[in-house]
Structure formats: structure tokens, C-alpha cells
Structure 1
Amino acid sequence: MTLFQALDRNFSTKNIGYKHFGYFCLMKWMKRIFDFYLDASIHVAFAVFSLVQITWLTLNIPSDKHLSWFLFFGTISCYNFIKYGVEAEKYLLVANRYHKNIQLLSFIASGLALYHAYYLSIAIWSGLVILVLLTVLYAVPLLPNAKNLRSWGGLKIFIVALVWSGATVILPGISVHDSVPWDIGVEAFQRFLLVLILLIPFEIRDLQYDQKELRTIPQHYGVTKTKIFGAFLVLLFFFGTFLKDRIGYNELLGKGMLFLGLGCLMYKTKRQQSKYFASFWVEGIPVIWYVILVFLEYTFSPHFAIAVSS
């Protein structure tokens, strides 16, 4: 081997090493960005945003962009407050740089939420007061020695489902109606069930972390019975569609696909989960549902509907 061949081979080896190192650094940064996306509650905010858009589509009511974006930015700030700073001083005095970035994002999101809140109607504000009160009771105890609603394990997921249902169905409904029509009530009930179903994988995952005093559903009934309960909720969710006075074909088809997906979710859910199973895939189900509905709207005519009752 000549000197030039040896140098060329050495250079090629170093070049390959640099490429591998560059790829490693890129993947490391992508993982950091992805983890921040999840930890800063951006993913769950997109889930809420998607559910609001689904409400506009399925109920065929005019959309309100200010309500949609208020809920998106409000979800980021509220969820981060609940996760990282239930105590005010912990939320304001943050030493960790990573949490400082989440705190900064939360403050920006709060400001944008307030901007969009200015354009909301009085009717929406009246509903928001109730939901905000429930959220505060969920995160903060009213008395120094009292427990918040989050500490009541058996009740916790029902409170979360109630708030999500109210925010993503009732608020859009009262933005265009003086009262809550029957179909909106049915949709709110289905949304309540959907959120309960999506929370079950989280409850099962957290078995190893939750204190026994919480008495969560998996702690009380076990993983298998909890999954059976979830499967029953999936059935109730889908067949609840037929309680509506008017059902769109696209809505029925979309909920049919969601029904199959939720059934698979209950089957796949287990105690030992991968890192992103619940925090990314389960929370991403509303986004996937929204994408399916948008595809159906553009593929098939949105005007066909089934009149269930006169």
C-alpha cells in the first residue's frame, strides 16, 4: 500500500466517523426537541385543539377561531401549571434550565390565551367560569390541610373527562346556541366517554408510581378488569352515536374507524408500556381522528346525513 493510499484510507475512515458523529448529534437534538414538545404540553394542546375542530365538523356549526386558539394556548399554560407548579412559588422560582424554558413557553401561551379570550362571547365566558373552577379545585386545595380533587384517585379521571367534554363540546355549542340542543348533549356525553377511555392507559401506566391511598380504578379493580371496563366504554361511545337526531355519514364512518382503533388500544394497553405509548400515541388519537374526518370531508360530500328521528 502506498503512502497516498494509506492517507486516503485514513481520511475516509475519519470522514465516516464524522458522519456518524453528526448523525448522533442530530438524533440527540431531535429527541430533546421531541421530549420538550411532550413535556411542555404542546402535544396535549393539539389534542384539545383537534377535538374542538371535530366538534365544528360533526355538529356542522360555525367555527370560532378565537375559541379554538384560546383552548390551545390555555391548555399549554394550565397543564404545565398542574404538572410543574401547583404551588405558586415553585412555578415562579425555577432553577432548572429545562423547566425555565417550559415556564417561558407557559407565560407566552398565557398571554396569547388572554388575547383570544378578549374576543369570546359572554355565553362562553359563563361556561369558562365553571370549567376554570373545576380545574382550580383539581389542582389546588381550598384549605391548607385539605386535598385537591387530583388526590381523589377514583374521581380524578372523571373530573378531567368532564372538563375536556365541557371545553371541547359545550363551549363550542353555546357559542352558537342559547341552550344545549339534544345532539350537542349526546356529543358531549360521547366526548366524556372518549376522554375516560384515553385516560385508562395512563392510569394503568401509573400503577407503579401512584400511592395506594389514591385508590385509582386499576388499583381497586386490577388491570384486567380496568381494560374490560374500558372496552365497555368503547362500545358505549360508538353506539351512543345512534342516540343523535341527525348523523352525518362522515361522522359515522369516522367514529367507526375510531371505534376500531380504541378497541385495539384497550387490547394493547399493559402495565409495562414503552416511554411514548401513552404520552404520544394515546394523546395523539384525537389528532389522528381529526385528520381522518378532514380527509372524509374532502373525499365525500359532507351534506349527506341520516335522520334518525323526526
Structure 2
Amino acid sequence: MKVLKKVFDFYIQSSIHVALSVYSLVQMTCFMFHIPEDKPIANFAFFGTIVGYNFVKYDSFARTNKVQFRTSLKLIILFSALSFLATGFYFFQLQRLTQMVSIGVLSLTLLYTLPFFPNRKNARNWAGVKIYIVSLCWVGVTLVLPIIDSGIAITSDFYLKSIQRFILVFVLILIFEILDLTHDDPHLKTVPQQIGVKRTKNLGYFLLLIFCALELLNSNFNSNITHLLLVIIIAIITSLFLAFANEKRSKYYTSFWAESVPILWWFMVFLF
């Protein structure tokens, strides 16, 4: 059991699980917009997420040497390095415009992590900004990049799906912020810190209602009732995770279960 737990912890800590969530949303974008299977963009998103998330999580440790590198951390660094090479490999298989947009998303990620401006903290520590930057990055990687790389026309459905995707990621991050409420620096001014847990949950429920309502505005709504039902199911599942979120929950509540929502959504598409 100890070995299985170590493997599972490595799976979570090395960001493979969150990368699968991103990969799933890329596949959902291809499904929604009838894009032929695009392995380079999906794999680029998968490996790029591993590199980006691990850079955000472990960069401060590597630069300040505050902790002695454990074996597990060394493995994560090695895995991240290999993922970086894979990201570069798939990057050069993308369309030129896609490459340019992906560099923009990368810049946003670096802004989130590194202090670019003198005497200023990185964007991760800017009051109230974190949740918006992360949500925008997810929309950029999982929706904008696949659409641009496919070369299909940008219609009103693209903007509707962008708002939907932003809302879903935003609400999932709210769950993280509720669990981290007792550990987050008060100066971060996360949503729960500013309006309280109860109002944060009510905000999440309201946003999920908008998430469902936007599906009614899709151009192919009449021919895609099943997908509306799946959207409602995902909204209900996410709202349940939000409802039962509190500071005493295990770290796996968010790092595994809540982050499984996009994977579950993609899986249900295959079932139905």
C-alpha cells in the first residue's frame, strides 16, 4: 500500500493529473467544434501543463534552495525536464499563429511566477489577480489554441464556449481557495478572504447557472440536447464539490477529485 501511495502522490505532485484535465478539455474543444483529432496540440497542452505547473510549484524551491531536494522532488524535476523536451517537440508541429499565441500564454504563466518588475512580487501574489490569470491560461490552452491551430472560422459559439470554459475553471479554483483559506496569505485577497465562504459558494452556484444557460445559446443547440444534459450534470457535480468544500478537507479533495471534473466530462462524452 505504501508503494501505491507513493506512486499516487507522484502522479498528483508531478502535475500529471492536472495535465490530464487540460488534455481532456482540449479533446472536448475538438468534439464541440468538430475538429479532427489533433494530437500535436493535445500533447503540447498535456506536456506544457506539466512543465508550467511544476515550474510554478517548485521554482521558488529551486531558486532559493530553502529545502533539501528529496528523491521524489528530484524525480519530478527530471520528469519536468523530459516533459519540457516533449513540449518543444510538439511546439514545432503547431501552426505559426498557434505558436505565437502559445508564447503569449507562456508569458502570462511566467508573469504569474516570476517578479518581472523591480520591487514588485510576482502576479501570483498580486491581490485578487491569481484566479483570473489561471482561468485565462486554461481558456487559452484548452480552447483558443486548438481553434487557432485547426484554422476553423471563429463564430459566436467560440465566444460562448470561452465564457463557459472560464466559468468552469473559475469555480473549480474557488474550491481550491476555500480549502486553502487558513493557509493563504491574507494579502492575496482570494475570493473567500474578501467575501467569505458562504458568499463564495453562492457566487459559484450563480456562475454555474450561467454556465448551463450559455449552452442554450449555441447555434447547434436543437441538435445537441444530449450535450446540454452533460453540461447540466457537470455543473451539478461541480456544485456538489463546492457545497462540501471546507478548510478541513484532505488535499486530495481538490488536487484529485475536483480536478477530475474535466476528465469526467470527456469520459461521459464517450459514454453518451
Please give the range of the TM-score, normalised by the shorter of the 2 chains.
over 0.9
Change (3 A) 1:49 1:90: farther
Equivalences for residues 118-197 of structure 1 within 5 A: 118-177=92-151, 180-197=154-171
* Distance in 2, Cα, partners of 1:118 & 1:165: 21
Give the TM-score of the pair, scaled to structure 2. 0.94
The question of 1:273 aligning with 2:257 is answered no
The question of 1:260 aligning with 2:240 is answered no
Change (3 A) 1:196 1:140: same
* Distance in 2, Cα, partners of 1:176 & 1:258: 26
Q: State the shift of 1:119 in Å.
A: 0.5
- String of CA shifts for 1:231-267, please: whole Å, max 9, x gaps: 1111111111122222323321211211221222222
* RMSD over aligned Cα atoms: 1.7
AA in 1 matched with 2:158? I
Work out the percentage of aligned pairs sharing the same amino acid: 37
* Distance in 1, Cα, partners of 2:232 & 2:173: 20
Change (3 A) 1:216 1:136: same
Larger of the two Rg values belongs to structure = 1
Q: State the shift of 1:87 in Å.
A: 7.0
Change (3 A) 1:273 1:39: same
The question of 1:110 aligning with 2:84 is answered yes
- String of CA shifts for 1:101-153, please: whole Å, max 9, x gaps: 10000001111111111110012112112211111111111124211111024
* Distance in 1, Cα, partners of 2:163 & 2:185: 30
Secondary structure of 1:154's partner? coil
Change (3 A) 1:120 1:254: same
Q: How many residues align?
A: 269
Q: State the shift of 1:178 in Å.
A: 6.1
Higher RCO, 1 or 2 (CA under 8 Å, sep at least 6)?
2
Q: Which runs of 4+ in 1 moved over 6 A?
A: none
Question: Is the Cα contact below 8 Å between 1:48 and 1:71 reproduced in 2?
Answer: yes
**Corresponding residue for residue 34 of structure 1:** 8
Identify unmatched segments of 5+ residues in structure 1.
1-26, 297-310
Question: Is the Cα contact below 8 Å between 2:238 and 2:258 reproduced in 1?
Answer: no
- String of CA shifts for 1:141-195, please: whole Å, max 9, x gaps: 1124211111024111111001101110111111223653211111111000000
**Corresponding residue for residue 222 of structure 1:** 196
Secondary structure of 2:181's partner? helix
**Corresponding residue for residue 175 of structure 2:** 201
The question of 1:282 aligning with 2:258 is answered yes
**Corresponding residue for residue 57 of structure 2:** 83
Q: State the shift of 1:94 in Å.
A: 6.4
Change (3 A) 1:204 1:81: same
AA in 1 matched with 2:271? F
Give the TM-score of the pair, scaled to structure 1. 0.83
Q: Which stretch shifts more, 135-144 or 173-182?
A: 173-182
Question: Is the Cα contact below 8 Å between 1:94 and 1:100 reproduced in 2?
Answer: no
- String of CA shifts for 1:5-29, please: whole Å, max 9, x gaps: xxxxxxxxxxxxxxxxxxxxxx011
AA in 1 matched with 2:117? L
- String of CA shifts for 1:22-81, please: whole Å, max 9, x gaps: xxxxx0110011011101101000000000001111221223100100110111111101
